[in-house]
Amino acid sequence: MPNSNTIHEVLTAVFQVRPVRDAIAAGDGRHSGGGHRGPAGDDELSVLLWQRALDPQKGTWSLPGGVLREDEDMTTSARRQLAEKVDVREVAHLEQLSVFSDPHRVPGPRRIASTFLGLVPLHADPGLPPDTAWHPVSALPEMSFDHGVVVEHARTRLAAKLSYTNIAFALAPPEFAMSELRDIYCAALGYQVDATNLQRVLKRRNVLTPTGNTAPSGRAGGRPPALYRFTDAGLRVTDEFAALRPPT
């Protein structure tokens, strides 16, 4: 017989590629623009977290989420809570990850968590509440309950889908140079990717479309880089057997 005290919650690991210098401390009331690029290697995949003000586990960092309402499905709940609790409304991609159901995952009444992966594009700049901040996935703070495990699941899902889908559309700006797209892939995957090889692979899969525009030349001058956009603004499988691998 089902436990009548069981609570069903929805948690979302929201990722955005951001300059490392944009990381801020919760409570200072600031947020920085997501569209200002630093030098290559200056970007990291970051996750949106809020700091708990009350026990249990006061002071630790949690994924945005909350209790599933009786009148909503899980995807609707995830989007509602991102908008209400951390004021994030521009989520370019949202998909369900897995269910966390360990009876002892949180103290008190049993909570079953349905988890989601959410992606925010590079140009988006959501204004965050004072208790909320972006944190590099590679240097997470002390996490609440099993939320750190959820982040790792989401990072693994994203890395896998970067190999065989066009999911990077949800992290990229509307137009980009190949060097900028390469930096996004490097940040999301956690290792270096060659821009020339990436361009060749994505063009072969009909993922990219030239815009006909160019970006300003760099400090060293030279030919202005061509700008591209993703051909599709929705997820599709491009090569179900493909795998991007770190350099050996």
pLDDT digit string (tens) for 147-157?
999 999 999 99
Q: CA-CA distance, 129 to 6, in Å (whole number)?
A: 30
Query: Which residues neighbour 217 within 8 Å (Cβ) at sequence distance 6 or greater?
Result: 223, 224, 225
Question: Are 12 and 105 in a shared domain?
Answer: yes
pLDDT above 80 (res 162): yes
Q: What is the CATH number of the domain that holds 206?
A: 1.10.10.10
Quick check: is 218 in a domain? yes
Instruction: Give the pLDDT score at 79.
Output: 96
Per-residue pLDDT, averaged over 46-62, amounts to 96
Instruction: Give the pLDDT score at 72.
Output: 96
Question: Are 35 and 123 in a shared domain?
Answer: yes
Q: CA-CA distance, 230 to 65, in Å (whole number)?
A: 30
Instruction: Give the pLDDT score at 188.
Output: 96
Question: Are 120 and 213 in a shared domain?
Answer: no
The distance of Cα 194 from the centroid of its chain, to the nearest Å, equals: 22
- Of 25, 153, 38, the C-alpha closest to 17 is 38
Of residues 35 and 10, more confidently modeled = 10
Per-residue pLDDT band for 5 (boundaries 50, 70, 90) equals confident
Quick check: is 125 in a domain? yes
Question: Are 113 and 205 in a shared domain?
Answer: no
Question: Are 191 and 116 in a shared domain?
Answer: no
Question: Are 182 and 156 in a shared domain?
Answer: no
Quick check: is 122 in a domain? yes
Question: Are 120 and 226 in a shared domain?
Answer: no
Quick check: is 55 in a domain? yes
pLDDT digit string (tens) for 208-228?
999 999 988 766 667 889 999
Q: CA-CA distance, 97 to 151, in Å (whole number)?
A: 10
pLDDT above 90 (res 123): no
Question: Are 220 and 171 in a shared domain?
Answer: yes
Instruction: Provide the domain count of the chain.
Output: 2
8 A C-beta contact, residue 116 and residue 13: yes
Quick check: is 241 in a domain? no
Quick check: is 26 in a domain? yes
Quick check: is 247 in a domain? no
Quick check: is 84 in a domain? yes
Question: Are 107 and 72 in a shared domain?
Answer: yes
Strand partners, 18: 44
Domain that holds residue 140: 7-162
